[in-house]
Amino acid sequence: MAAARNNEFKLFGPRDGDYQSPSVVTLSCHLSPEISAVSMEIRWFKGTDCVCLYKNRQVTEGRGYRGRVSLFTQELQRGNVSLQIRDCRWSDRGDYLCQVTNGDTTEECTVGMWPPSWGSGTEAQRKSRVAEVYVYQVSMLFYIDHTFKKDGSSKVL
């Protein structure tokens, strides 16, 4: 396992978009270099709501997520700070912010979850036809979109 100097690390979401079953969705997030997050503070937010908090080796689930969210605590040693959401609901779609703090260093990464079939129809229709959700790192998509608009080319940097 790599050792980071002075609490230095970066936080990364999924490398590529990923389709997953809505019964169990993993919002991938990991530290680089691959260092232990066991003694760090990990917070997952959706908007201003704290979905999950890991602090002092204890996991606290946010209101509205109790019994449905968890971290892979046995994988924290390898820098895996991913959030798992079970039994996804209509209200679960959107962007989630992962925030990891180690001493005076805090890193953030936003991971989005959007069920492709939830784009149109009534809420009941959308819920009944959900077969998969798409999970992606938001900042990467915004960067690519911004590049296309700024210079008008199709070159992705």
Q: Regarding predicted confidence, which is higher, 22 or 146? A: 22
If you count them, how many residues does the chain have? Answer: 157
Q: Regarding predicted confidence, which is higher, 20 or 107? A: 107
> CA 84, 33, 60 angle in degrees (round to 5)?
30
Nearest partner of 7 among 102, 80, 109, 98, judged by Cα: 102
Predicted TM-score (pTM) of the model is: 0.77
Which of 32-41, 89-98, 120-129 ranks highest by mean pLDDT? 32-41
pLDDT at 88: 86
Range name among 21-35, 45-59, 132-146 with the lowest pLDDT average: 132-146
